[in-house]
Structure 1
Amino acid sequence: MKMFRFLKSTSRTVHEEEEQHEQEHKTTESTNQGGASTSLTVWRKSLLISCNGFTVIGSNGDLVYRVDNYSGRPEEITLMDAPGKPVLTILRRRKTLRLVDSWRVYEGEAGDGEDCRRASKSSEEKPVWSIRKHIKNILNPINPKPKPNAIAYVCRGGEDKSAYVVEGSYAERSCKVWNESRRVVVAEIKRKEASKGGVSFGLEVFLLVVHPGFDPGFAMALVLVLDQMFA
C-alpha cells in the first residue's frame, strides 16, 4: 500500500530529527528514567481491507504492532505483533451498576472464541490492567484527588487505586501518561508532522512516544482504549 510505504519512509526521517532534538533538549522525565525513548508511528487503519484497526510502525520503518478488527466483535480487541501473534487482549465491560464502561487488559489471547474460552475464564479473575474513564464532578474512588486534565485512570490488575493517569486530549492527539507514584511521564501521544514537504497527517496518523522503563505494547493498548473512549 502506498500510504504504508510513505509512512515507513517518513517514520525514519522524523525519528532521526526527533533523536537529534531529544539529545539537544532532554525533558526532565526522560532524564530521570535514563536512556532513549521509543517513537512509534500509529496509523488508525488496518492493512487488511476487510478490517478496521491500527498499524504501528517503528522508527526503522518496520511493522511493530497491528490490530485487525472484524465487525461483530467490538467488545474485544487483540493487539498483535508483526507476524500476528497476540500480545495483549482488551475486553470492554459495558456499564451495569457502574457509571462508566471499564476496560481490562490481559496478556496474550483471551476472549470468547472457541480456542481461548478456557483462558478467558481464568484470566477474567486476573487482568493485568484495568482502565476507566475519568468522570468530572463525581467522587472517584480510584483517585480521590483527580487531576484537572485527567481523562482516564489505569489500575494494576483488580486494584482500585490508580497506578497511572492519562491527561490531555485524545481527540487532539495530545496526551501524557503519568506514573502516579513517581510523577514522571512514561508515554505521550503527539501529532505527527513531517517537517519536509509540508505534509499534514491529520488525526489518523500520530506518534506514540514511549519513555524507557514503560512497555510499548501496553502503551499501544492504552491508545486502543482511549480510541474507544473518545472516538
Structure 2
Amino acid sequence: MGQGKFIVTDTKGNLLFKVKKSHFKVHDQRVLIDAAGNHIVTLKEKMMTAHNRWEVCNGDSSSSKNIVFSAKTSHVIQLKTKLQVFLANNVNEDICDFRVEGSWTESSCVIYAGESSTIIAQMHKKHSVGSLVLGKDKFMVSVYPHVDYAFIVALIVILDEINH
C-alpha cells in the first residue's frame, strides 16, 4: 500500500471501497471511500503512544469527538499480529470489543468478537483473482453475516500500516 492505493472489490470485480492517503495533514491519514465516492471513515495514527494506536472517525472528520473505534497492538513488540479494538463507548478499555489475531507475514488473520472464539471475518492471501488488493498483493476476506464490510476493511488497512 506504499503508494496509497488500496482497492476493495467483490468477487465479481465490482468496486466496493478504496482508500486514499492524505499527505496534507500534520500526520498521515487514510480515508475509506465507498463506490459512490462517499467518505465512510477516516483512519489516523496516534502519535507518541507506546502501542501502535489508530483512531477511526466518522466520514472525513479526524476529530476525537467523532471516533467510531480505536485499535492498538496488544504489546509494544510482537511477533504475531494481535490487535485490540475498542468501540467509542468503551472508554475504560478493560476488555476489547473485537480482536485480530494471526500472522501478517503469512497473510492470514482472524477477527473475533471480543475475547470470545466467535469469528466475524477471516483474511488469507489469494493467488488468483482477488477480492481485496493491497498494492500488488491480493487477499480474500470472508466476512460473516451481519458484519459491516467497512469496519473489516478499516481494520485491514490498520494492519497493513502497522506491518509496513
Give me the TM-score of the superposition, normalised by structure 1. 0.60
Match in the other structure for 2:153? 220
Shift of 1:75: 2.3
Cα distance in 1 for partners of 2:163, 2:128 equals 25
Matched residue SS, 2:7? strand
The aligned residue for residue 58 of structure 1 is 10
Paired amino acid for 2:71: I
Measure, in 2, the Cα distance between the counterparts of 1:69 and 1:76.
6
Q: For 1:26-47, what per-residue CA distance to the aligned partner results, in whole angstroms no more than 9, with x for missing partners? A: xxxxxxxxxxxxxxxxxx58xx
| Correspondent of 1:86 among 39, 58, 68 | 39
Report the Cα distance in structure 2 between the residues aligned to 1:137 and 1:79, rounded to whole angstroms: 28
Determine if the alignment matches structure 1 residue 130 to structure 2 residue 70.
yes
Q: Distance in 2 between matches of 1:63 and 1:156?
A: 27
- In the alignment of these two chains, the number of paired residues is 156
Counterparts of 1:10-159 in structure 2 under 5 Å? Answer: 44=1, 52-73=4-25, 75-95=28-48, 98-111=49-62, 120=63, 124-135=64-75, 151-157=82-88, 158-159=90-91
Determine if contact 2:22/2:29 at 8 Å carries over to the other structure. Answer: no
Higher helix share: 1
Aligned residues: percent identity? 23
**Who is 2:107 aligned against?**
173
Distance 1:180 1:150 in 2: 16
Distance between the aligned counterparts of 2:65 and 2:22, measured in 1? Answer: 26
CA shift, 1:83, in A, is 2.4
Q: TM-score, normalised by structure 2?
A: 0.82
CA RMSD of aligned residues (A): 2.8
Q: Which structure shows the higher strand fraction? A: 2
The Cα offsets for residues 113-145 of structure 1, whole Å up to 9 and x where unpaired, read as xxxxxxx3xxx134111100121689xxxxxxx
Matched-pair contact (CA < 8 Å) for 2:52–2:76: no
Maintained 8 Å contact 1:86/1:108: yes
Q: Read off the aligned partner of 2:73 and give its amino acid letter.
A: K
